[in-house]
Structure 1
Amino acid sequence: MKEVKSPKKPLLYYYGIVLLIIALFNLLVTPLLNRRSIEEVDYGTFMSKIEAQQIEKVEIDDDEIYYTEKGGKTVYCTGVMDDPSLTERLYASGATFSRDVQKTMSPLLSFFLTSIVPLLLFLALGRYVGKKLVEQAGGKNAMAFGKSNAKVYVQSTAGIHFSDVAGEDEAKESLAEIVDYLHDPKKYTDVGASMPKGILLVGPPGTGKTMLAKAVAGEANVPFFSISGSEFVEMFVGMGASKVRDLFSQAKEKAPCIVFIDEIDAIGKKRDGQFGGNDEREQTLNQLLTEMDGFEGNNGVMILAATNRPESLDPALTRPGRFDRRVPVELPDLKGREAILRVHARKIRVGDDVDFHTIARMAAGASGAELANIINEGALRAVRDGRKTVTEADLEESIETVIAGYQKKNAVLSDHEKRVVSYHEIGHALVAALQTDSAPVQKITIIPRTSGALGYTMQVEQGEKNLMTRGELLAKLATLTGGRAAEEVALGEITTGASNDIEQATRIARAMIAQYGMTDEFDMVAMQTTRNQYLGGDTSMSCSEQTQREIDRKVVELVRTEHERAHSLLTEHRALLDQLAQVLYEKETITGEEFMRILHAAQKEEEHHA
């Protein structure tokens, strides 16, 4: 899209203000600070000092006499008297003396020449240079504070369109209706329908909220104003509100048009009414509320806004009549991930062996931005290997790079550590394979990664799962504890390698008890609430201390039960654990197919012996 930029304010004006302050300080304040302390005395004191030979230096002016005593820094001043023998007495006392024979200038004239004239010259020069810079920038007023600096896009064939956005079909449908209304409003007004004044795009980071707004700009034949919520925040109270007024003033002049405010939570947070709050932000929000639903109205001005913190927005901003429609832009499902991968794969050369469905299954839970990064990492890997096409192995490795980081080429594990990591990862994989509710194992590796992982086991679901049963969660807990259980069974000791497993198992067990109602004791009572669901999902307990202690006891009991189950499974299949760990120790990386082939062969051999 072609962007029409408003002229920027010349920086010379800001520098000029600073230089002006410095100049005034040097001209007016510094002389006063540097002025010597002068003490006035009578002429008799001056004469007695001469006779006592205590005077070191004397300066005689037309009206006054200045002198300093020997070893002193204070300047004394006295008036001039008719004393013809003064010079002889000064000479006899050993003092150095001189007379200023030049006529002093009038104080008023001196101030005019040293202060006023340089200031006028400086202002004239600054105005001339500033005018030239403004003319070059195409602007008229360089000091226009409170003006909106929104970027204005006009229609262009080289921009982003709905065809470039995949995986968010519901969001595109809602926004396509808005674009259609802007193209042909009569079709809607004939029925009596009116379009929403504001549309709020909500979702996790990286899901494509800003890209959808750009697609609207690419599809619409109307002016498109784009600005970030943080650009309304100013140091001076009232400047943000002034920017809002100016933005909507421009939008009304070019209606019908679209205004897009990114990260609107920067100015749209709830007003708490506490003393000493952010008055500037609240005034900006009040002005935005007035512009969206005031007496004048904004016919033809459609407002899009994006945020990943919808729960923090002020209720007055999200009520009907302002942001009438909320469009969720969630993480893509399996079909959406495959479509997004195909869209980004248009920019690279893809080999014939690439199966985007498989890559999409492996990238479960990835956002659109992460999927774009996976495609780019795969292309970079192909270039590093000297190839001109991207293979499926490149994309699979790029998924691991995004999840766990790059392989640490120089990381050297001791023989004992390598064996411990082998048993740990095989413990995860074997416990998962011996349970019916676990996801299939895709890959096992003991190659260290830059994220700090010394190895990992990748499990990939066959299809898209939106719900998890209690049995599946218990199987996941057992799988997470399988690494520590393998260390206990095979080596008789435990290591620090299970820290991440412990963290995940604790979080799942606590959610089962306090959030999912999967316990008989608390039934369907929520003991824990989730905040910032799109930004990590922080949780907070909403129960008494006694109940929280009981929840903690239940969490420990649940994790311990699954840990014991994993321990018994690995003890029962100890020979298989040793065999698989030895294979992983030698190969360092095995695929899920290799793992299952060894497992099935061992199970058939056990059945044959039985």
Structure 2
Amino acid sequence: MDKALTDSLDRYIVKLQEAAEQLKSPRKYEFRLTKRNLPAIALKSATDFLAYCALVALFRRNIGALSEPSCVALIAVPPQWQLKDVHDAANIILKDKKGFKFCLHPSSKHKRGWEIDPAELLESGEKLIVFTQEGSILHEDFELAATLSDRLAVCDIRHLRALAIFRRCGNLTDEQGAVIAEQASERMEAIFRRDQPASRAAMKLLKVGKIAPGNERLLDVSKGFGEASVWADSLKKDLSDWRQGKLPWAEVDKGCLLYGPPGTGKTRFAAALAAHCDLHLEATSIPKWQSYKDGDLGDMLKAMYQAFGSAKDNAPCLLFLDEFDAIGDRAKFPSRHETYSTTVVNALLECLDGTEGREGVVVLGACNYPERIDPALLRSGRLEKHVRFPLPDAVARGEILEFHLPNLAGEAALREIAARLPGKSGADIERLAREARRIARKENRDVNISDVRSQVQVRPPLDAKTLYRVAIHEAGHALVSHALMLGKIEWVEIYDNIENFATTVDANGGMFMERPHREFLTRWDTMKMITSDLAGAAAEDLVFGHRANWSTGSQGSDFASATALAIRMVTEYAFGNSLYYLPGSVDMTSPPKLWEDLALRDDVTEILQEQYQRARDMLDGLKPTLLKLAEALVKYKRLDARQLEAYWPGSRKGMPPRSQRQKSGHQH
């Protein structure tokens, strides 16, 4: 069977050579293919083999144009395949041929312009083959010079079956071949493992993922993403009612802004949301509009209008606008860019308002810094719903790992690993999976749980001294928050990284409190919040005479939260020493600019020092209780709301029996 297939493919290449010979006489140069060892290529690299076969088919279709001495070929590569993979295969085919030059076209235009020089590539006189990602913007000079444009059809079912035969991976049905064909090129090694059935991987892909618009497996948006999951389900119900005529379009959310830290998976969430709601997905970004063609105002507006026009033509549709904060705020534009930027914002307002109607089009924006967006874009009728997109919880982290490691989907050990990755973004988890696949690839086998575990950075076990410091810190937060009646404390816990591990926060411990909704805040309310934020450090200072750096080590730390609230107190709430109201006057994302206002710096410093001392004084009066609560945390690691009742000042309740404590702990 192997020999018959090899002979068939060899005859196929010989025909290409004969066609080239027939075209040779009237031309100065000829295009020929050298016979290659197909089994060797297949055994060495699955991606090389599939790209090789696809290129041979493309060359066969275009043998005449490729034989021309002045050939400039534009070859569009499907988005799930890397240009480098196709370039490697082209080098195999044309290894011994002179007069050919390749270009891997950038996927987008940089703000400073293109990172390639067409003139340099075109002036050499050599035949030029330009590989470009399908759907990306092309340099205009290449479009003008092109003598051939074609799309590379990778993963033809015949090529997949040939690869399976060479690698002894068994037979593939048409359905299995179809799902494999839609996977990223880097997955082919995992699917076509030597002497392993490729059908097994295909069935896993069919089982654990849905095929969405664009044929991409998707995550479950209905769980694991907090408020965003709630909104997704609500939108799906409203759209269903609208389709059935039960709900007018005016009652459906017309737009939503997802905001949160980088790398959380907002882009992937948008694709999954479109499938969840059975919507066509039109995805773009503000930077793509800005880099369209020459990037001038006319090009920018043209790209914008095209996106909205395409969404209307494909309604019902989800129009996803990534990096939405790049649009800016008209009140903050530098004077030299004011006309350009203001015109862009006004045009976007016009598109969002939909004077010609945009029924059936839901606009979803995504950004990291919502405060940088012009407020008019976020008002009712535009991007009216604002949803914080959090870092994925344990459930979502497990789904993301399964998405990138489909052959391990459903394994309990993978979910356990995901639970121990608190604070990791979707991008972090994707990188972890990629590294695990690389380990398996080097050893020519399927990725396994051990590969994944090897990429997880496990927190070192805490010694008794450090664990006690963590307990003092969290007990300080709990006691001050309870005394100031800031909300209901659900539980307090610490992690020794031996038997107890963090699953919710990337920290050594945490206090979890449900705060009541407040319609307004007084100065005292905000002061109490800051006191609570600083109470952990104050407790350490009181007991040990100094504090550790985990109160200030990141943007989400206690001191960062307290500082941000103190700045809002002064600039937005007029709770400082001045009565001025200057919302947005300080760029909270730019620390160097934070202290340019000396009066603000003095006000904030005074607030923080005053509340730090308040927390320390409160805990000094509660020191016996503080020590008792910390000792209980060291012993039991976790105390829930009912168990904490025994430790609040004035309580006469005793600790519940240990069996009840364990049962209560498992319920959380």
Kindly name which structure, 1 or 2, has the bigger radius of gyration based on alpha carbons: 1
Higher relative contact order (Cα pairs below 8 Å, separated by 6+ residues)? 1
